[in-house]
Structure 1
Amino acid sequence: MRKLIFMLFLLMGVALYAISVIDDLGRYIEIDNPPERVIIAAPGVTGFFTYLGLENKIVGVTDWDSFALSHEVEKIGNLIPLNIEKIISLNPDIVFLTGGFQESEIPKLEQFNIKAVVINPNTFEEVFRDISLIAAIFSEEKRGSELANEFRKKILEIAKKTFSIPLDKKPRVFYAMITGDVKEIWTCGTGSFLNQAITYAGGVNVAAPYTGNNGWFPVSPEFVLDTQPEIILVPFYYDGGDVEVVNKIMEYAPFKELPAIKDGRVYAVDGNLFAYANPDFIKIIENLYSIFYGE
């Protein structure tokens, strides 16, 4: 009888932990127990785990994830194609991916009964939602709700300060991601999280009237000349790269009459920070607000 009661309580405990979630691809996923071994196959997802204090669950990341520089975790290789053999060897309870180019990797994982969850936010609101989603997967709903609300509060504190600034007093901003020379520029328009970040921080994104895949699209130097930005933001990705990218813009002869060049308002920003929509959205907006208004 005691054994039967014990088994009933055990089964009840398992049932209490079982949850169902819908990921950012709209996929319905059942999770029987809070995961203990996690592989993050998309660097942008890692920021959610550090924000939620779930770093100890991570057993593997891609070769492109800076998390491995400061933590003892296994590297699983590239984002695509995923090294399924390596992933299986780490015996994960769950693998987190992003959308778009990684979607084709999901069936490969499911073939080996590995649960896959897609986290693919592209707005402040979607980051807010995904904080709670990931927390729920690990049975940390209360903490997830508290941190999600704290995230929203910090974002809106800055947004409220900039909302009352007249439009003609806000700086005209251009984000210049240079892939080669200055003739090859990608920028962020409507539909990108950086467009939203620039707006919340009190800037006017000169590329906002346009869009592309996830809000990103290529532009020519003529586009920059036509839009006359007062501030140019240029991402860099390695130590010392900040000076290089700023000089590349400042020394480009066709840009010499731009307001941003004449006023010396070309700023290098951390490309690794600005690359992903995750809870670091707070740091991005704080950084931008400081650049725009010197606070």
Structure 2
Amino acid sequence: MKKWMSWGSALAVSAILLSGCGTADQTNDKEKTTQSAQQNAYPLTVKDATGKEISIKQEPSKIITLSPSITESLFALDLGDKVTGVTTNDDYPKEATKKTMVGDMNPNIEKIISLEPDFVLIDASSLGTAEAGLEQLRDAGITVFVVPTANSFDETYANIELIGKVTNKEAEAKKIVADMQKKVADVQQKIKDANVKERSVFVETSDAPDIYTAGNNSYMQEMFDLIGANNIAKDGGENWYKIDPEAIVKGNPDVIIVKYDYVPNIMKKIKKRDGFDTITAVKEDQIVQVDDNLTSRTGPRLADGLEEIAKAVYPEAFK
């Protein structure tokens, strides 16, 4: 009887082991199938900013990028080794400056073609000056993909994920976006914890007499909203617009943010503008210069740019 029970138990254990092996095999098969599907995602058809369905035959291996924000996204996605050419405006990361330069807002089409890329990425904001050249690239058999122009954090997140999708780096793109969102939340929490009083702020991107600032529907206005700062110029225009110096004086900001460094001694020049000696930011020496690229490019570093703006407005929250 004991022998029979032992034999039966052995059969039962064998059956369980066989069943387990079968399950493990099935799981492995599923994993292999999933990995195979990921590796064979091409040909891929994705709609770009122009509304065209772009067919990408295979995973891009030689990429030309015609926008600094796109370049930064590609390097953040660990695709620097696949980037063949960049614009003369690309200065981050440092590795990007070592790539072949293919022009600026007016790309050198012949040079791009000579590099034999299989994929060209361009921001929609550059279409006006580059459309004719892009047709030449398409005629040469090069896939051109137009990325939407981002004017907000959500649009920036979407663009990073879109670039990740067309380059087979979707998981990495989602990780970048998640890290950015965490950084934004951390900045907001620090300001909240510091219990600071709301401050009024003014930002300029050029010197007098043509002073340009950020208004409604600009990513800069969104930054001010995120950190709880009152932009004195928000109702004066849409996106970026030219503002009268008298309007700045009347707005009397607590902080003035300067987003450029091409004018020598600009901080002193601002203080000497007519009527500016009555502005709180001038009287209390709260004129702050920030990194224009860090606070302007709608790419992976935009959350770092938000932190720099927050430090300019509420420095005590980051001590």
TM-score, normalised via structure 1 length: 0.84
1:287 shift after superposition: 0.7
1:104-156 CA-partner distances (Å, limit 9, x unpaired): 42334323232222222111001111111111112122222222222222223
Look up the equivalent residue of 2:260 and give its one-letter code.
Answer: F
Give 1:247 deviation, angstroms. 1.6
Greater displacement, 220-229 / 26-35: 26-35
Inter-partner Cα distance in structure 1 for 2:251 and 2:294? 26
* Distance change >3 Å, CA 165–CA 69, structure 1 → 2: closer
Counterpart of 2:216 in structure 1 is: 190
For residues 66 and 273 of structure 1, do their structure 2 counterparts lie closer, same or farther at Cα, with a shift above 3 Å needed?
Answer: same
Classify the secondary structure of the residue corresponding to 1:16.
coil
In the TM superposition, what are the counterparts of 1:36-185 in structure 2 within 5 Å? 36-67=61-92, 70-71=95-96, 72-80=98-106, 82-103=107-128, 104-105=130-131, 106-119=134-147, 120-159=149-188, 162=191, 169-178=197-206, 181-185=207-211
Give the deviation of 1:50 after TM superposition. Answer: 2.5
How many equivalent pairs are there? 276
Q: Which deviations, in whole Å up to 9, do the C-alpha atoms of 1:174-207 show, x marking residues without a partner?
A: 11112xx422100111111111112212311112
Q: Distance in 1 between matches of 2:173 and 2:282?
A: 43
Supply the RMSD in Å over aligned alpha carbons: 2.6
SS of the aligned residue for 1:273 comes to: helix
CA drift of 1:283 comes to: 1.0
1:39-66 C-alpha deviation (Å, 9 max, x unpaired): 1112222221222222221111112221
Matched residue, 1:201 = 227
Mapped partners of 1:147, 1:14: distance in 2: 21
Counterpart AA for 1:124: F
Cα distance in 2 between the residues matched to 1:199 and 1:65: 29
Q: Which letter does structure 1 place at the counterpart of 2:102?
A: I
Indicate the larger mover: 103-112 or 269-278.
103-112
Q: Using the alignment, how far apart are the partners of 1:62 and 1:156 within structure 2? A: 33
Residues in 2 aligned to 1:87 and 1:66: alpha-carbon distance in whole angstroms = 19
Gaps of at least 5 residues in structure 2 are 1-36
CA distance in structure 2 between the partners assigned to 1:225 and 1:182 by the alignment:
13
Distance in 1 between the 2:189 and 2:50 partners?
31
Q: What's the secondary structure of 1:20's corresponding residue?
A: strand
* Contact 2:216–2:234 under 8 Å retained in 1: yes
The residue type equivalent to 1:207 in the other structure is A
CA distance in 1, matches of 2:186, 2:231: 20
- Please say if residues 245 and 268 of structure 1, whose CA atoms lie closer than 8 Å, have aligned partners that are also in contact: no
Q: Is the 8 A contact 1:38 1:60 kept in 2?
A: yes
SS of residue in 1 equivalent to 2:237: coil
Shift in alpha-carbon separation, 1:47–1:68, aligned structure 2, 3 A: closer
2-side partners of 1:87 and 1:68: how far apart? 21
Q: Distance in 2 between matches of 1:13 and 1:194?
A: 37
Query: Take 1:270 and 1:170, find their aligned partners in 2: how far apart are those partners?
Result: 23
1:225 is aligned, of 249, 259, 277, to 249
Tell me which structure has the larger Cα radius of gyration.
2
Secondary structure, aligned partner of 1:33: coil
Compute the displacement of 1:253 (Å). 3.6
**How much does 1:251 deviate?**
2.4
Q: Quick one: which amino acid aligns to residue 300 of structure 2? A: P
Deviates more, 1:52-61 or 1:110-119: 110-119
**Contact kept? 1:173, 1:232, Cα under 8 Å:** yes
Change beyond 3 A, Cα 1:52–1:15: closer
Q: 2:60 is paired with a residue of what secondary structure? A: coil
Q: Measure the CA separation in 2 of the matches of 1:16 and 1:177.
A: 43
C-alpha separation in 2, matches of 1:218 and 1:53: 39
What's the TM-score once normalised by structure 2's chain length? 0.78
Query: Which string of whole-angstrom CA distances, capped at 9 and with x for unpartnered residues, describes residues 217-238 of structure 1?
Result: 1111011012111111112246
